[in-house]
Chains A and B, each alone.
Chain A
Amino acid sequence: MSRTLLKDVAIIGGGLVGSSAALALRRMGFSVALLEKGFCGAQASGVNYGGVRRQGRPPEQIALSQRAHAIWPRLKEIIGIDGEFVSSGHLKLARTEAEMASLESYAARVAELGLDLELIGRSRIRERFAWIAGDVAGASLCPGDGHANPRLVSAAFALAARRAGAEVLEHTPVSHVEKVPEGFHLSAGSGTEVRARFVINSAGAWAGTFAEAFGEPVPLRRIYPSMIVTEPLSVFMNVNIGAEGGGIYARQVERGNCIVGGMRGKPAADLDFSRPTGSGAVTIMNRAAALFPALRNAYAIRFWSGTEGEMADRNPVIGFSRTTPNLIHAFGFSGAGFQIAPAVGEVLAELVRDGESRTPIEAFAIDRFARMDQGSPVGSVPEPLKRETSK
């Protein structure tokens, strides 16, 4: 089947960023084609841990994160489901005094940014969170943070975009994209050609190829965060748990299942998929049983992992291309994209409509790597880029 679509905007990648951009653009009246190589929201957007967390983000992400924070409680109105979003609070544990000092220092750095962090000492942790075992030095609580169900949220954004009139084409991988005088010309699977004035590259772990095609190589590598889920248990965990220094994060859903992460998986034979390692999963299971006594006799029923793009500096790329007019990048969320993605979608729509966003995104410019590597031609990167193609 061969066809040509004429659209204002072509979006490459139907993850949460691409889908929320599609929805926001439709609400502004732009015509949109959303091109997804598999199912929308089936990669990192749909299989991530589900943390809806501002706490712990670098200060330059907080404005964007605050914008997203206002969106999450309104999901029902925006996409038709609440996505199991719970504003439970996010409790970041410090296992040592040094980690506690680090949490205190973070709290001071973001003090003016509206996170309302509450630092909690050793003894108060025992009183307030008696279900946490072991020697916890303290914690930082971000009361408005929480968690949601990525499986549902990501697919629902894509469905909402479709209902709002976006042309959502699943199983339609973009094989070629080029700049032409009037905009862009994209070739995609099953003979689909798209002509568009704007292109948004929100292809997640697969975005590097498209950036490179426009002379903007980036230090984007793949990571495979891996999770386990327990059978349903009586609800005891009333906050989303993280740990300073990493190693474990955990949440319990209303149905009672606990989702615990903290290790990485590995790519599967089909490089577009990944799988957890047995040892990684067992490590997470053991850590969870040690930290939460309620889980000591529990069973893990499933492990999974997803494919995510991580930037060298762990900040995403968001904003206009420096080489190609009307090309916009939004990828490399480095394992922390879920919470901010709905705001990124709005920002991308503003970039298309206004050429700028009301939310500051300068820190996420794509040429920041080139600037770091002074003296080299634009487009080179400070470290050799390991090329991983999606096919």
Chain B
Amino acid sequence: MSDALRPLIVGAGPAGIRAAQTLVDAGLRPIVVDEAASGGGQIYRQRLVPDNRTPRDLYGSEAGKATALHGTFARIRDRIEYLPHSLVWNVGDKAADVAAGGRTRRLDFSHLILATGATDRILPFRGWTTPGVFTLGGAQIALKSQGCAIGEQVVFLGSGPLLYLVAWQYVKAGARVAAVLDTAPFSAKLHLLRGLPSQPGVVLRGLRYAAELMARGVPVRFGVEPDRIEGETRVEGIVWRERSEKHRLACDAVGYGFALRSETQLADLAGCRFVFDGRDRAWRPERDIAGRTSVSGVYIAGDGAGIAGADAAELAGERAGLALLEDTGVTVDRARIVVLERRLAAINRFRDILEAAFPFPGGWADRVDDDVLLCRCEEISIGQARAAMREQGVHELNRLKALTRVGMGRCQGRMCACAAAEILAAARGQPLEAVGRMRTQPPIKPLPLEIAADGETA
């Protein structure tokens, strides 16, 4: 084993931790950079301050997995170089720029494993920027990390497994969930039955969440079409349609999201080739089942490589770690690789079922009104974007950005680019992949102007 190997892992969630463990087991000392204060990622996020909640309170049925992952990370802690609270804001050739505590420095690496995870996929509707509206992930972070609910009467809305999980976690924590509004019809959930033979645990767990919500009197509505969030300075209620009939419910907070979107900026800056993933409705880095990207020495694992969930992330992190070892001439356990790849393939097949059960809200891009805000950073409405398409012949996403500023603000398109692509494709009658993807510019998140540079950068 060469001492010169200096693998850099970005992200300390399920994928990053399992990748690190795999490398440590082979005698390497990887650098693990993570934006959070402690390991676990979004899904197994740890408390900011200790309180009396047990892992069971925090992670429910996944408490075992969370505890195991945290335990692993604690055990390898001395055998990695761990940089929490640190942002990789740029990646160049065999080097990354890392900012922490008002300073930035260059980290040279021999190999890079990107385990950057995902955020909620957001689709705007009227009132979506009203204070009190959170993403499902944001609502979950408030609960897990800080022990706070986002409101006293919370409505959860959208599509995706997270919708039921977060609602259930809120109920378990004693919060009042006013309703769960699923944009998919109930019939879509029947697809889950197809998943019973292969992933009975996942399916039954999901059914349990829904059953417990209903048992506790939480109204669960299907086939919901969100109309608006009411309230000027604070959420006061939500209006939706079911079979063209309008409904209104008072609430003081809304958590919503439509499945997840991969965080792919670093892969883009690293020069990875992208492919369109029809199931995720998004471009993602091209990779083989082991997580090798098109760039030699750059690997990707977890939801940042395409949405597959936390269990797959653990497997993929380990697989990417093994791929790195294989590529550097280390003998690895072939039997283990076969097991990992078989399980990853099974989850991948199950993902098709999940997508059918929690489908993207088709027709959203055609229905949403012109005066709804599309890009909240730059305050660009959907109508302004549509006008640029109509009047200036825009048919590509970077062009839309250049001419309207959509995606040019603080979030650099992380929140709005999915919706912008959907709007552009729908307005032009093009397939989603035809409108392209936004090119990434560093820094991937805002950097203070007064940041001090220690030496050169990447």
Contacts and interface: CB of A to CB of B under 8 A. Distances in A.
A301 B449 contact: no
A285 B410 contact: no
B451 A285 contact: yes
A304 B407 CA distance: 14
Nearest to A300: B447
A297 B453 CA distance: 16
A159 B392 contact: yes
B457 A282 contact: yes
Contacts of A279: 453, 456-457
A95 interface: no
Interface stretch (A97-105, A174-182, A288-296, A362-370): A288-296
A216 B392 CA distance: 37
Chain A contact surface mostly:
mixed
Interface string A259-289: 0000000000100000111110111011011
A190 to B, nearest CB: 16
A286 B450 contact: yes
Contacts of B106: 278
B409 A301 contact: yes
Contact of A299 (B92, B378, B392, B448): B448
Interface string B391-413: 01100100100110000111010
Contacts of B392: 155, 159
A151 B448 CA distance: 25
B392 to A, nearest CB: 6
Given A231-B410, A297-B448, A300-B443, A278 B402 contact: no
Assign chain B's interface to a size class: 20 to 34
B443 A303 contact: yes
Contact of A152 (B399, B403, B408): B403
A155 B447 contact: no
Nearest to A168: B393
B412 A302 contact: yes
A255 B378 CA distance: 9
Interface string B378-393: 1000000000000011
B447 A285 contact: yes
17 contacts: A152-B403, A155-B403, A278-B89, A278-B90, A278-B106, A278-B458, A279-B457, A281-B443, A285-B447, A285-B448, A286-B451, A289-B450, A296-B449, A300-B447, A300-B449, A302-B441, A303-B441
A22 B393 CA distance: 19
Given A155-B402, A159-B392, A230-B449, A302 B408 contact: yes
A297 B446 CA distance: 12
B442 interface: yes
Contact of A46 (B402, B409, B450, B453): B402
